[in-house]
Structure 1
Amino acid sequence: MSTLSAVPLLDAIQAIAFVGDLAMGQPTDHSLRTAWLARRLASATKDDAELCTEAFIVAMLRWSGCTANAHEFAQTFGDDIAQRKSLLAMQSSESGFRYASREKETAFFSLSQIHCEIAGDVAGLLGLSADVQFALRHLFESFDGSGAPDGLAGDAVPPSVYLATLASDLEIFTRLYGVERARELLRQRAQRQYPLHMVEQAIAHARAWFEELEAMKMAECIDSVSRMGFEHTAPLEILADVIDLKMPWMTGHSRLVATHARNAARQLGLDKRTQDRLYRAGLIHGIGRAAVPNMIWDTPSTLTESAWERVRLVPYWTSRAGRLLRSLESEVSLASLAYERCDGSGYYRGLTADETPLEARVLAAAITKTALSRHRPWRAAMSDHDVREFMFEEARKGRLDNTAVRALFPFDVRRCAVQANTVVTNACPLTDRERDVLRCISMGASNKAVAQQLAISPSTVRTHVESVFRKLGCTTRAAATLKAVQLGLLDATEFS
């Protein structure tokens, strides 16, 4: 693993949990509070240190797959964030997602499969145990066997799944409806969603636990688990890839921004420490995008003012992650300035060039260059020449920093080496045609669209997709994308 992007494992887990909370429409401490409750519940039901740690981790990473199926979720339900928030709050005798999907059975299983496969893969990339990976691959299983993705039941479901699910419901229901109503709702789900003996422990201890939780600062909670086997580090690229999965057309975006920013800093003669800081800030600058529904990002025309207000808050939410990423406070601060403009027309603070450091102006230019060269729902990708002309015009207008823009263009985007932390090493090589197909499907194209783009038949595309899945050991397009980016099989500079 490159030390350039290595961060403490607990920081990586917390950051991924933060993204998940934003994407699920939850308070940004929901996963941490849930993990604390899951650990206490595990201790109350079975005093086993390993189970307590596993329950904590599973609860923290429970929503790590929600960016991966956001595109499909939005197509099925509309506003992915609002709908998820509503489903989690549903006062039903089974999970809100399961209840709301009764007339969309296929969607329930396909969305669960995408989510769980990515969650398990993320755990693997983070170097977590096989037990944690297995649990995260079965997050939506139910005690009565009505869950997904495999319909496991009873003792076949890892106890950490029950503990994390029960703790999440307890946290949400208590926050929204109070302890007594939360107890009633948990009783309704006993022996359906999770085992009765766990529900009985949750009901018995709920009030005392919440009194203790409310008196605790989250920093204390983090410190209390920092010695629970989180000694090693993880590459920050994993977080970047999880962020970019939210929109298929963002595949590899954060990695390419990071690379452009670092190269520009090098061109400007900035010291190695600043170059590395810019690289890491580029990887995490999009954390706040998880707070904006896909239906806004996918709008093919001018956004409404209300939609723009949500987009303007993206860097604000990124800045809020700084309290969790304590090893990256400086990088988070820099990333939160990513959308400011030299003339004060940017967001969310509206700062001018005099109020932002050179590194921030370099990052803003790197993001602009990367975005313009890639397809978006509201416009086609621009050619290298047009990107250059547009950005120099923006510099002349005083919006982008002229020095930063000039530093970006000695580097040909088609020859820009994007660093890949290869954390999986046993994948089979793909053929050139399989890579072409993978690149297309990773951007959200259907088999039919891929066939038209590559001038081959849909059945041939299907054969290539099946071969790619088999070689990469996955079953969904999102998982294939994540693995391929991690392995360096997809070059972000080739997307358009």
Structure 2
Amino acid sequence: MDLTDAVLALAFVGDLSMGRATDHSRRTAELAGLLTAAEGAGDNEQNHAHAAALLRWSGCTANASGFADLLGDDIASRAAMMAQTLPPLDAHTQAMIVPLAVIHCEISGEVAATLGMPQEVIAGLRHIFERYDSRGAPQGLGGDAVPRVTYRVNVASDLEILSRTHGREQAMILLRAEAGTKYPADLAELAIAHGSHWLDGMDAIPPRVTDWDLQTGGLERSSQLTLLADVVELKLPWLAGHSRRVANLATQCANVLGLQTAEKDMLRDAALLHGIGRAALPNQLWKTSPEQLSSHQWEQIRLMPYWTSRAASQLPSLKLAAELASYAYERLDGSGYFRGVTGDTLGTTHRVLATAIALQTLIEARPWRREHTLQQAAQVLRNEANAGGFDADIVEAAIIAVSGHPPPRPVPDSAMLSPRELEVLRQISLGASNKETARALGISPSTVGTHVESIFRKLNCATRAAATLKALTAGVL
């Protein structure tokens, strides 16, 4: 996996999370590069615009729960907001959106930094919701204080979204209305003058992303996939680190079964990728027990692995792993989804992955239930194997893997976090409030607040989502 595919995977997740077409970020990146070139800027600045546009939505999983609480459907509401079709919001709701924008900006910047992107790209993403008139977020900067790449990406994104939603003529009217307020007037006029020609060109020949130099930061494949998994799981705070744990369990299960190294590597990658499709589904689907979901809601959930499969078709170096990942919820008796295939179609790696996900999920807490003990989880899986859903031999191998090879508990770097700060971080990374953390740890909420401030200072971040992502990346969680 090279950097381009890592960035494209993050762009794909962002497009799903924002309710956009799955080629939106690619097209926006192409437009941002063309706009930059039309200004007379060179190749470096054009590539900075490409990278910033592709990573623009990489922070949107981190504030999905906030938008779900505020507006109901995190995906539909943000799609309407970007398309300028959302009904006007009252002042209180608008004020509540500002901290959500701050989270988004911090995570997008952190993702770019972790990938080793140039400072210009990182800065552009950290200010992606700033406006020319200083009425944006996260800092209310304006004019030349905002990185030029931020304006270029925002003009390009508006041109792409508004043209799809309202048609080109109306899109140009809306762009002109924002000239000198949301972005500099000269950039808006360039987009208006050339936008239709640029869009025609993309319609005829899709963007050639491989022609762009995104300037690799040298992250290994496994680190890139782990970052992708971590970003996806920020969508649901209680899910933090889940795919990492599934990858560990699947690998240990493969060891018990004596699988080859190539199969183990493929299982690890598939485990890290299996949750991509979750980005396409609104958060409200995950708030209740599966037994309480309506038939319509279940049909939506069945699309989760479908979207993972769609990722496989767009990312060449991830194709095989993502294709395996899209079988994560199939069952031997045909009762799984989205394909509903039976045992004859499912090889050993398919069966190991499905079993590892099911077992790891059972031994983790969910908003509607406590975690199962290993004994309870083992009995659930054995019952399902007896009913024909799982491979009994692989279920036993997974149970042995958990029993004999528990996932290593991170040892905090004393220079980073104290043991108590690590305990607090574990709680807040799973979505616990200060009061809930205080009850869990037997300390006061004010003491929790003091620890949170210290964690932010030591990790050089300002939001819980960023603290979670940084701690996962550093191996602290």
TM-score (norm 2): 0.95
1:102 aligned residue: 91
In structure 2, relative to structure 1, the CA distance for the partners of 1:282 and 1:216 (3 Å cut) is same
Q: Which deviates the most, 394-403 or 307-316?
A: 394-403
Q: Determine which of 229, 235, 240 is the counterpart of 2:215.
A: 229
The question of whether the paired residues in 1 share the 8 Å contact of 2:117 and 2:215 is answered with no
Question: In the alignment, is residue 61 of structure 1 matched against residue 55 of structure 2?
Answer: yes
1:3 aligned residue: none
Structure 1 segments unaligned to the other structure (5+ residues): 1-6, 491-496
Structure 2 segments unaligned to the other structure (5+ residues): none
C-alpha separation between the residues in 1 aligned to 2:443 and 2:13? 38
Q: Determine which of 125, 131, 146 is the counterpart of 1:136.
A: 125
Provide the aligned C-alpha RMSD in A: 2.0
Q: Determine which of 51, 65, 71 is the counterpart of 1:71.
A: 65
The question of whether the paired residues in 1 share the 8 Å contact of 2:256 and 2:401 is answered with no
The question of whether the paired residues in 1 share the 8 Å contact of 2:57 and 2:108 is answered with yes
C-alpha separation between the residues in 2 aligned to 1:346 and 1:419? 32
The number of equivalent residue pairs is: 473
Q: Which deviates the most, 252-261 or 410-419?
A: 410-419
Note the C-alpha offset of 1:427: 9.1
2:474 aligned residue: 487
Q: Determine which of 64, 67, 84 is the counterpart of 1:90.
A: 84
C-alpha separation between the residues in 2 aligned to 1:190 and 1:414? 63
Note the C-alpha offset of 1:232: 3.9
Q: Determine which of 258, 275, 285 is the counterpart of 1:269.
A: 258
Give the secondary-structure state (helix, strand or coil) at the position aligned to 2:92: coil
C-alpha separation between the residues in 2 aligned to 1:228 and 1:440? 36
CA deviations on 1:153-189 (whole Å, 9 max, x unpaired) are: 0011111111111111100111111111110000001
2:179 aligned residue: 190
CA deviations on 1:305-335 (whole Å, 9 max, x unpaired) are: 1111110000000000012321121101100
Question: In the alignment, is residue 448 of structure 1 matched against residue 435 of structure 2?
Answer: yes
C-alpha separation between the residues in 2 aligned to 1:455 and 1:334? 43
Note the C-alpha offset of 1:233: 4.3
C-alpha separation between the residues in 1 aligned to 2:405 and 2:451? 27
Q: Determine which of 13, 30, 38 is the counterpart of 1:19.
A: 13
Note the C-alpha offset of 1:426: 9.7
Question: In the alignment, is residue 121 of structure 1 matched against residue 115 of structure 2?
Answer: no
C-alpha separation between the residues in 2 aligned to 1:399 and 1:483? 38
The question of whether the paired residues in 1 share the 8 Å contact of 2:115 and 2:217 is answered with no
C-alpha separation between the residues in 2 aligned to 1:315 and 1:126? 26
The question of whether the paired residues in 2 share the 8 Å contact of 1:288 and 1:314 is answered with yes
C-alpha separation between the residues in 1 aligned to 2:322 and 2:82? 29
Q: Determine which of 320, 342, 355 is the counterpart of 2:310.
A: 320
Amino acid at match of 1:75: D
The question of whether the paired residues in 2 share the 8 Å contact of 1:62 and 1:139 is answered with yes
TM-score (norm 1): 0.92
Amino acid at match of 2:428: I
Amino acid at match of 2:319: E
In structure 2, relative to structure 1, the CA distance for the partners of 1:418 and 1:243 (3 Å cut) is farther
The question of whether the paired residues in 1 share the 8 Å contact of 2:131 and 2:141 is answered with yes
CA deviations on 1:234-272 (whole Å, 9 max, x unpaired) are: 521100100111101101000011111111112111110
The question of whether the paired residues in 2 share the 8 Å contact of 1:22 and 1:290 is answered with yes
C-alpha separation between the residues in 1 aligned to 2:215 and 2:430? 37
2:282 aligned residue: 293
The question of whether the paired residues in 2 share the 8 Å contact of 1:89 and 1:173 is answered with yes
The question of whether the paired residues in 1 share the 8 Å contact of 2:116 and 2:217 is answered with no
2:391 aligned residue: 401
